C-alpha cells in the first residue's frame, strides 16, 4: 500500500472501530490506488480518497413493530448515503440478523465504485435492518416493512436516494415498502424504489439481472482466454435471488451446475441442478435446500457440513454472502482445476483467497464488476419510470448484456493501463475510482 494510503487506513481503523467488513472493503480499494495517485497528484491535493472513504450521511433509526402474537418488537434500521457525485444514492436494503453499521458501510462503499462502473449516473448507498424475515408470516413482514419505511421515507426520493433489494429483501418486501412510501407521501413516485412488480413500474429482467450479469461477466472473462461456458462444470453457493438466476443463465449457456446451498448446508446434484424444482422449493415454498435433495431422488445429496467449494468444478460463482470463500477453500478449488471465479455476492472471497486465485492464474471477477448487472438494470428501471414507457424483456436483456461487456472491457483496459493485465480487481477499483474522483473534483469541496 502507498505510504499515504497506509496512514489513511490507520485513520479509518481508529475512527471506525468494530467494523471489520468495512475495514476489509476499504483496505482492498486503498491497496489498488497507488498507481492512480502517482499519476494524478491533483487527487491527493483535493484529498479525494479521504473524502470518498467518509459517507456523506449515515442514518440509524428505531423500527418498532408488532408481531402476530401482539408482542412489541424493536429492530434497528440503517441507511448509509455514501456518495452522490455521480447521481442519487443507489443500493439495496438487507434484512438479516447480522446487519450492523459496519456491514452496511462495507456494502455502501463497494456500491460507489460498482455503480460508477455501470456508467449510468448513480451514486452509492446501502441500508437495511437486523430484522430476520425467516420464519415470519407475510403479515409480520408487512408490518415490519411499514414501520421501517415510516422513518426511512423522509430520506428517499427518485432524485435523492433509491433503495432496492438485497439479502432478505425481494419482491414481497419491495411491494410493502413501496406501498407504505406511497401512503405516507401521497405520491406515485415509481423511481423511488427498484425491483418493483412488473405490473406496477418494475423492469423486466431486474429479478434475473444480478445472476445473469455475473454469468455474462464470467463468459467475457473466459472469452478473453479463448474459452466459453459450454460444457463447463459450475459450482454455485446460495439459493436466493443471485444464485437462482446465476444457475438459470449458466444452464442457458450450456454449462452444468452441480451445487447450491443455504445457511443449513449444501446440495450436490450429480445430474445437474433441476432449476424448476429448486425454484419451487426456495421461491414458492420458502423451504430449505435439503427439501430439494429429498425430492430430487438419488442424484442429489444434502451435506450439512462442508462447502460447495469442496466439489471439483471449472467455474465457481459465490452467490450467498460476504467472506464465504476463504484461502483453504480457494486452494481446494485451485487443486481441483478451477479456471474462473466470479463474485455474484458482495465480497464473498476473503483477501487471502483472492491472492490464491490470482497467483494461480485463475480468472477472478470481483463483485464490484461482476454483480453490477443488478444495479445497472435498476438504473434502467428508473429510466423506464421517468419516461413512463415500459421496456420489453428482450430489450432490457440485450442492454444488460451490452453493459456487462462494457464493464468487462473497462476493467480489462484499466488493468492494462496500470500495468497489471488480467487483474480485474485492480482494473475495477481504479476505473470506478477515477470516474467518481473526476466528478468530485469538478463539483468542488462539498
Ligand atoms: P437472498 O436473500 O435472495 O439469498 C441469500 C442466499 O445466501 C440464501 O441462500 C441464504 O441462505 C444465503 N446466505 C445468506 N447469508 C448467509 C450466511 N451468513 N451463511 C450462509 N448462507 C447465507 O439474497 P441475494 O441473492 O439477493 O444476495 C446474495 C448476495 O448477492 C449478497 O452478498 C448480496 O449483497 C449480493 N448482491 C445482490 C444483488 C441483488 O440484486 N439481489 C445485487 C448485487 C449483489 P439462508 O436462506 O439460509 O440465509
Q: The domain that contains 112 carries what CATH number? A: 3.40.50.10860
In a domain, 413, yes or no: no
In a domain, 288, yes or no: yes
Based on the fold, state whether residues 302 and 258 are members of the same structural domain: yes
Based on the fold, state whether residues 247 and 237 are members of the same structural domain: yes
> Where residue 2 falls among pLDDT bands split at 50, 70, 90?
confident
Q: How many domains does the chain have?
A: 3
Q: 94 CA distance to ligand 1 centroid (A)?
A: 9
Based on the fold, state whether residues 49 and 85 are members of the same structural domain: no
What pLDDT sits at residue 407?
98
In a domain, 80, yes or no: yes
Task: Decide which of 352, 370, 388 is a domain's last residue.
Answer: 370
The tens digit of pLDDT for each residue in 271-295 reads 999 999 999 999 999 999 999 999 9
Instruction: Report the pLDDT averaged over residues 59-69.
Output: 98
Task: Specify whether the CB–CB gap between 371 and 346 falls below 8 A.
Answer: yes
> Where residue 71 falls among pLDDT bands split at 50, 70, 90?
very high
Instruction: Report the pLDDT averaged over residues 291-314.
Output: 96
With a CB cutoff of 8 Å and minimum separation 6, the contacts of 340 are 218, 221, 222, 314, 315, 316, 362, 363, 364, 365
Q: 4 CA distance to ligand 1 centroid (A)?
A: 35
What pLDDT sits at residue 394?
97
Atom index in ligand 1 nearest the CA of residue 210 equals: 40
Nearest CA residue ID for atom 7, ligand 1 = 320
**Block residue for cell numbers 447480522:** 98
The tens digit of pLDDT for each residue in 204-251 reads 999 999 999 999 999 999 999 999 999 999 999 999 999 999 999 999
What pLDDT sits at residue 5?
86
Number of residues written out for the chain: 446
Task: Specify whether the CB–CB gap between 81 and 59 falls below 8 A.
Answer: yes
In a domain, 401, yes or no: no
Based on the fold, state whether residues 75 and 183 are members of the same structural domain: yes
- Catalytic: which of 126, 196, 282, 368? 126
Based on the fold, state whether residues 82 and 183 are members of the same structural domain: yes
pLDDT of 124 higher than 80: yes
Based on the fold, state whether residues 61 and 36 are members of the same structural domain: no
Residue 126 annotated as catalytic: yes
Which one, of 237, 209, 240, 211, lies nearest residue 134 by Cα?
240
The tens digit of pLDDT for each residue in 138-183 reads 999 999 999 999 999 999 999 999 999 999 999 999 999 999 999 9
What pLDDT sits at residue 4?
81
- Ligand 1 site residues (CB inside 6 A) read 165-168, 170, 210, 238-243, 262-264, 319-321, 344-346, 371, 374
What does the mean pLDDT of the chain come to? Answer: 97
Based on the fold, state whether residues 246 and 353 are members of the same structural domain: yes
Domain extent for 147? 55-188
What's the whole-model pTM score?
0.96
> Where residue 432 falls among pLDDT bands split at 50, 70, 90?
very high
C-alpha torsion 330→335→337→338, nearest 10: 0
Q: 345 CA distance to ligand 1 centroid (A)?
A: 7
Based on the fold, state whether residues 46 and 69 are members of the same structural domain: no
Based on the fold, state whether residues 13 and 38 are members of the same structural domain: yes
In a domain, 199, yes or no: no
Render the burial of 137-169: b for 16+ CB within 10 Å, e for the rest: eeebbbbbbbbbbbebbebbbbeebbbbbbbbb
What pLDDT sits at residue 115?
98
Based on the fold, state whether residues 43 and 86 are members of the same structural domain: no
What pLDDT sits at residue 427?
98
pLDDT of 131 higher than 90: yes
Pairwise pLDDT comparison (166 vs 2), residue with the higher score: 166
What pLDDT sits at residue 289?
97
In a domain, 309, yes or no: yes
Q: Identify the CATH number of the domain in which residue 237 sits.
A: 3.40.50.720
Based on the fold, state whether residues 149 and 249 are members of the same structural domain: no
Nearest CA residue ID for atom 36, ligand 1 = 345
Long-range contacts of 297-303 (CB under 8 A, 24+ apart): 299/269, 299/270, 299/271, 300/267, 300/268, 300/269, 300/270, 300/271, 301/267, 301/268, 302/265, 302/266, 302/267, 303/265, 303/266, 303/267, 303/268
Instruction: Report the pLDDT averaged over residues 257-266.
Output: 97
Based on the fold, state whether residues 27 and 79 are members of the same structural domain: no
With a CB cutoff of 8 Å and minimum separation 6, the contacts of 438 are none
Amino acid at each position: 500500500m502507498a505510504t499515504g494510503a497506509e496512514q489513511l487506513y490507520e485513520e479509518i481503523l481508529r475512527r471506525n472501530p468494530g467494523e471489520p467488513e468495512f475495514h476489509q472493503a476499504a483496505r482492498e480499494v486503498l491497496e489498488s490506488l497507488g498507481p492512480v495517485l502517482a499519476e494524478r497528484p491533483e487527487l491527493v491535493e483535493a484529498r479525494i480518497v479521504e473524502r470518498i472513504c467518509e459517507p456523506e450521511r449515515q442514518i440509524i433509526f428505531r423500527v418498532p413493530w408488532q408481531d402476530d402474537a401482539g408482542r412489541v418488537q424493536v429492530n434497528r434500521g440503517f441507511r448509509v448515503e455514501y456518495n452522490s457525485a455521480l447521481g442519487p444514492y443507489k443500493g439495496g436494503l438487507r434484512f438479516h440478523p447480522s446487519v450492523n453499521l459496519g456491514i452496511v458501510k462495507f456494502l455502501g462503499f463497494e456500491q460507489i465504485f460498482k455503480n460508477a462502473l455501470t456508467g449510468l449516473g448513480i451514486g452509492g448507498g446501502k441500508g437495511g435492518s437486523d430484522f430476520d424475515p425467516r420464519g415470519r408470516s407475510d403479515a409480520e413482514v408487512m408490518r415490519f416493512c411499514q414501520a421501517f419505511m415510516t422513518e426511512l421515507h423522509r430520506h428517499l426520493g427518485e432524485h435523492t436516494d433509491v433503495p432496492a433489494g438485497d439479502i432478505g429483501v425481494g419482491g414481497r418486501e419491495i411491494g410493502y415498502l413501496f406501498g407504505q412510501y406511497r401512503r405516507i407521501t401521497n405520491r406515485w413516485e415509481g423511481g423511488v424504489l427498484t425491483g418493483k412488480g412488473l405490473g406496477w413500474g418494475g423492469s423486466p429482467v431486474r429479478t434475473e439481472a444480478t445472476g445473469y450479469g455475473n454469468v455474462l461477466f464470467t463468459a467475457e472473462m473466459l472469452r478473453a482466454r479463448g474459452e466459453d461456458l459450454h460444457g463447463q462444470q459450475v459450482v454455485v453457493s446460495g439459493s436466493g435471488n443471485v444464485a437462482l438466476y446465476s444457475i438459470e443463465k449458466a444452464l442457458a449457456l450450456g454449462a452444468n451446475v452441480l451445487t447450491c446451498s443455504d445457511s443449513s448446508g449444501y446440495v450436490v446434484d450429480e445430474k445437474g441442478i433441476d432449476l424448476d424444482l429448486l425454484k419451487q422449493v426456495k421461491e414458492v415454498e420458502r423451504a430449505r435446500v435439503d427439501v430439494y435433495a429429498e425430492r430430487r431422488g438419488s442424484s442429489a445429496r444434502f451435506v450439512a457440513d462442508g462447502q460447495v467449494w469442496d466439489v471439483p468444478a471449472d467455474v465457481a460463482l459465490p452467490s450467498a454472502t460476504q467472506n464465504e470463500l476463504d484461502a483453504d477453500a480457494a486452494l481446494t478449488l485451485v487443486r481441483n482445476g478451477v479456471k474462473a471465479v466470479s463474485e455474484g455476492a458482495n465480497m464473498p472471497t476473503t483477501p487471502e483467497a483472492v491472492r490464491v486465485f490470482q497467483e494461480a492464474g485463475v480468472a477472478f471477477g470481483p463483485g464490484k464488476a461482476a454483480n453490477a448487472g443488478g444495479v445497472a438494470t435498476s438504473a434502467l428501471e428508473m429510466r423506464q419510470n421517468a419516461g413512463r414507457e415500459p421496456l420489453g424483456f428482450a430489450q432490457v436483456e440485450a442492454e444488460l448484456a451490452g453493459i456487462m461487456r462494457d464493464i468487462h472491457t473497462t476493467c480489462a483496459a484499466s488493468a492494462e493501463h496500470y500495468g497489471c493485465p488480467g487483474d480485474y480487481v485492480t482494473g475495477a477499483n481504479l476505473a470506478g475510482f477515477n470516474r467518481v474522483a473526476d466528478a468530485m473534483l469538478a463539483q468542488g469541496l462539498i
